[in-house]
Amino acid sequence: MTNGEGVVNDTPAERARHLVGAAEVPVVVLDSERRLVAASPVAAELLGEAAPGRRLSEETLASRPELLVLFLDAVPELSAYQELRAGFTAAVSHELRTPLARLLVLLETATLPGADVEELVERAEQEVQQARELIDDVLFLGELETGREVVALGRTRAEPVVRDVLDGFAARAERAQVELVAQVDPVVELPLRPRMLRVVLENLVLNAVRYAGPVTHCTVRVVPLDDGPVLSVTDDGKGVSANDVPRLFERFYRADQARSSRGTGLGLAIVKHIVTAAGGTVEAHSAPGEGVEVIARFPA
C-alpha cells in the first residue's frame, strides 16, 4: 500500500502476503523461526490452517513435499536436520555391515577343507538379497520423502489389490503356518495409487507372516466409516511389549523377537510415510500374547 504522497511503505511481510496471495502454486513464506508469514490459497488448503504466526515444524514440511518454502529472513539453523541426516546415514551403514560381515564369514568358510560349499553359497545369496532389500528400501523411502514418488493419485478399489497381495504371500504364509484372511468391502476405495496400496499391504502382511508365529491368523480388513475408509492388518500372534509399540514405526527399530530377523527395519516407516502423505493416520496396538493390529485411517 502507499501513503498519501504515493510512496510505497509496505513491510516485507505485507509485500510477501501480497505476492503469495495471488500465486496458483502451493507456496509458503516463513520467517527465520519457521513461523508462517504468508501462504498461497493452495498451500493454505494443504496445511488446513494457515494463520500468520503458526510455526511449521520440519516434520510438517517434510510431510508436505509439494510445498514450495521461501524464507523472509535468513534460512533457519539446519543443525537438527543435519543431525537427523547423519544419524540416518550411520544407521544405514550399520545395517549394511551386518549382512556384509556374515557374507565375508561364509565366503571364508567355503575355502576350508570339507566345507559344504553348496549350502554356504545358498546362505551367502540370502545375505546378498538382504543387503539388496535394504538398499532398495532406503532408496524408496528417500524418493517418498523428497516427493519424487507420488503417493496419492486418484483412488484405488482395495479388494483386488488385497486379494492379489494375499495370493502372493500364500506359499510363504503356509510355510510359516499363518492363515491369511481377507475381510474387504468390495466397493471401498482408498486415496492411494495402486502401487502405493500394494507397498502398504505387502509390508504389513509380511510383518505378520514373519513375526506372528505358527498356528496364527493374519486378517486384512478394509471397511467404510462415516469419516473415511479404514485399512487394518491384524494378527493373533506373539505381540510386542508396551515399550515397543510406540517405536514400531521408527526406522530400523525392531522389537525383541524381530532383532534376529532378516527384515530391513524400514517396512513400517515406509507404511507410515505413505499413509500420512495421503492425508491419513496410522497407529499400532499390541500386547504380549495378543498379536499386533496396525490401523490406517484415510480421509473421506
State the residue for C-alpha cell 510445498. 67
Pairing of strands 178-184, 216-223: parallel
Taking a C-beta distance cutoff of 8 angstroms, is the pair 27, 35 a contact? no
SS3 string, 115-136, reads: CCHHHHHHHHHHHHHHHHHHHH
- The H or E element that residue 233 is part of is strand 230-235
> How many CB atoms within 10 Å of residue 56?
18
What are the C-alpha distances in Å from 135 to residues 127, 140, 182, 253, 266?
13, 9, 31, 16, 10
The C-alpha cell that represents 255 in the structure block: 522389537
User: Active-site residue among 94, 217, 273, 285?
Assistant: 94
Taking a C-beta distance cutoff of 8 angstroms, is the pair 198, 151 a contact? no
**At 249, which amino acid appears?**
F
Residue 94 annotated to the active site:
yes
Q: Residue 55 gets which letter from DSSP?
A: B
State the residue for C-alpha cell 525392531. 254
Closest listed residue to residue 244, CA positions, set 259, 252, 254, 233: 254
Burial of 61 (0-12, 13-18, 19+ CB in 10 A): middle
Catalytic residue numbers read: 94
